[in-house]
Amino acid sequence: MNEYMIIGQYVPGNSFVHRIDPRTKITIIFFFVIFVFFANSVGSYGILTAFALITTFITRIPLKFILKGLTPVWFLIIFTFSLHLIVTKDGTVLFNLFGWEIYSGGVIQGVAISLRFFLLILFTSLLTLTTTPIEITDAIEDMLAPLNKIKFPVHELALMMSISLRFIPTLMQETEKISKAQSSRGVDFRTGPLKERIKAVVPLLVPLFVSAFKRAEELAMAMEARGYRGGEGRTKLRLLKIQSIDIWVYLLFTCVIIGLFLLRTY
């Protein structure tokens, strides 16, 4: 159960990356995800890889946390690499593997796509490794604020996200507890015919829904009793502020992107 209790993958710290404003991190990651597709040469991949690895290094997050986050994707990376190795038939034949001719184009494409994927996963995971989900919520609320003008309920949605984050561990515990309680009464979730297993989910979902909506009702009532009236005029406990390090990060990232385009032919 304990491993479920770690929400997301946030690793507390006070590194340079931890201190960057979450809005800056989201913006940089957004553009990184787009620009990584422009890499097409050793030089351009090189500069992005160096940037991603150096950023990872300065987070001072133990390597085991980062590798743990990447565990589910190794299989995918190897699968994709093998797929391109077998399917792509460009360039010269390099060697013969169990009857399959391996072309140089296949190796190049396999390496390029796997590396691109690795970079995407590594860089985007830095957001959740160095930013708490609440900070991410605040950042999203702030970035979507202009949508308020077209009556989009930005504040309500951000509050919804915060409440959701607060209740995830509670409901996880509850799910675990109910499934154990039902198992002790003889409900079998894992074996038996499909029809029986489908039936077994119902006694799990019914108490879960009942208790979740009971909580919702109590919380809504408590909020209203304390005077919650929606977003207008509400002040915040945590205020986001763009600092000089954010400006430096934007400048550095712009340089990396300029470098990427200059190195596209090398």
Q: Using the rule CB under 8 A, is 111 a contact of other proteins?
A: no
**Which of 13, 49, 83, 94 lies at the binding interface for other proteins (CB under 8 A)?**
83
Beta strands at 100-103 and 93-97: parallel, antiparallel or unpaired: antiparallel
CA torsion sign for 141, 143, 148, 152 is negative
CA dihedral defined by 165, 168, 170, 171, rounded to 10 degrees?
140
Q: Which stretch binds other proteins (CB under 8 A): 14-22, 100-108, 118-126, 257-265?
A: 118-126
Footprint (CB under 8 A) of other proteins, residues 212-241: 212-213, 215-217, 219-220, 223-224, 228, 230
Residue from 133, 76, 144, 61 nearest 110 by CA: 76
Identify which range of 75-83, 93-101, 143-151, 238-246 contacts other proteins by CB under 8 A. 75-83
Q: Is 39 exposed, middle or buried (0-12, 13-18, 19+ CB in 10 A)?
A: buried
Which range in 15-23, 175-183, 236-244, 256-264 contacts other proteins by CB under 8 A? 175-183
**106 forms part of the interface with other proteins (CB under 8 A):** no
The span of 59-67, 207-215, 236-244, 256-264 binding other proteins (CB under 8 A) equals: 207-215
Least Cβ distance, residue 113 to other proteins (angstroms): 5
Find where tokens 């590396």 sit. Answer: 115
**Binding mask 119-138 vs other proteins (x if CB under 8 A, - otherwise)?**
-xx--xx-xx----x--x--
Contact in structure between 34 and 206 (CB atoms under 8 Å):
no
Question: Residue 57 or 152: which CB sits closer to other proteins?
Answer: 152
Residue 130's nearest CA partner among 61, 187, 192, 194 is: 61
Query: How far from the centroid of its chain's Cα atoms is residue 218's Cα?
Result: 31
105 contacts 125 by C-beta, under 8 angstroms: no
DSSP SS3 for 15 = coil
Query: Which residues are at the interface with other proteins (CB under 8 A)?
Result: 4, 7-9, 29-30, 33, 69-70, 72-73, 76, 80, 83-84, 87, 109, 113, 117, 120-121, 124-125, 127-128, 133, 136, 153, 156-157, 159-168, 170-172, 174-176, 179, 189, 194, 198, 201-202, 205-206, 208-210, 212-213, 215-217, 219-220, 223-224, 228, 230
